[in-house]
Structure 1
Amino acid sequence: MNEDPIAFTEAAATKVGELIRDEGNPNLMLRVYVQGGGCSGMQYGFEFDENVQDGDTQVERKGVKLLVDPMSFQYLNGAEIDYREGLEGAQFVIRNPNATTTCGCGSSFAA
């Protein structure tokens, strides 16, 4: 049973690990955040970060750390970060039970 407040799937952790190796900096962690914008009012963002900030939630899977700041955490608590490859291409996907509506591309939502 997963007790982490945010699920970080094995597929997502594996892909992030590959990207970190490609960057050549083993200190990098994946920061996931929420900001205003997108067609539904809020949108997800991803970036690499070397620093853990005060209040960050950390989830580790397969030696890869995921960071979420406190403001974003209120929207991402209970969400799942996954990585999918399919006919439409490869992408990170967030399944968020807190989103009341999402846009067709899945990159923005309303809470």
Structure 2
Amino acid sequence: MSNDKKNAFPIKLTHSAADQVKKLISSQDYAEKLDLKLRVYILGGGCGGFQYKFILDDQVSNDDCVIESNGAIVVVDPMSLQYLFGGIIDYYEGLEGSKFLVVNPNAKGVCSCGSSFNI
């Protein structure tokens, strides 16, 4: 791993994404589980080859990367981290709905629908 990668922050959350994570965790649906974190992971699939997945999780494995960014905690497994390293997670709200988005410097291409990517 280069010195740039060793010194870089592995993943960042925008203020908008961090605010949404905190809002979701404090909602009535999760009020009893305030130790939840945003888990981001990669699955094979979609027309691009890989898909981003997001869940609220209270489990952290010993080999997970745990990142605090803008007051929210993100958990990423080692396999997914290699594909997400240097990425930025944002939260978007628009007429067509709302969703978390990943700006991924490792992605070589994104499918036309935007739900999957390739490396």
TM-score normalised by structure 2 residue count: 0.85
Native 8 Å contact 2:12 2:69 kept in 1:
no
Instruction: Classify the secondary structure of the residue corresponding to 1:34.
Output: strand
**Residue 104 of structure 1, CA deviation:** 2.4
Q: What amino acid maps onto 1:21 in structure 2?
A: S
Q: Give me the identity figure in percent.
A: 50
Query: Which stretch shows the higher mean deviation, 35-44 or 50-59?
Result: 50-59
In the alignment, the residues of structure 1 paired with residue 82 and residue 69 of structure 2 have an alpha-carbon distance, to the nearest angstrom, of 21
Q: Does 1:97 align with 2:105?
A: yes
Instruction: Classify the secondary structure of the residue corresponding to 1:15.
Output: helix
**Residue 106 of structure 1, CA deviation:** 2.2
| Aligned residue number for residue 5 of structure 1 | 10
Q: What amino acid maps onto 2:19 in structure 1?
A: T
Q: Which has the larger radius of gyration?
A: 2
5+ long unaligned stretches in structure 1 = none
Q: Does 1:16 align with 2:21?
A: yes
Matched ranges for 1:1-111 at <5 A: 3-22=8-27, 23-24=30-31, 25-111=33-119
Q: What amino acid maps onto 2:112 in structure 1?
A: G
Native 8 Å contact 1:8 1:59 kept in 2:
no
In the alignment, the residues of structure 1 paired with residue 112 and residue 89 of structure 2 have an alpha-carbon distance, to the nearest angstrom, of 17
Instruction: Classify the secondary structure of the residue corresponding to 2:38.
Output: strand
Number of equivalences: 109
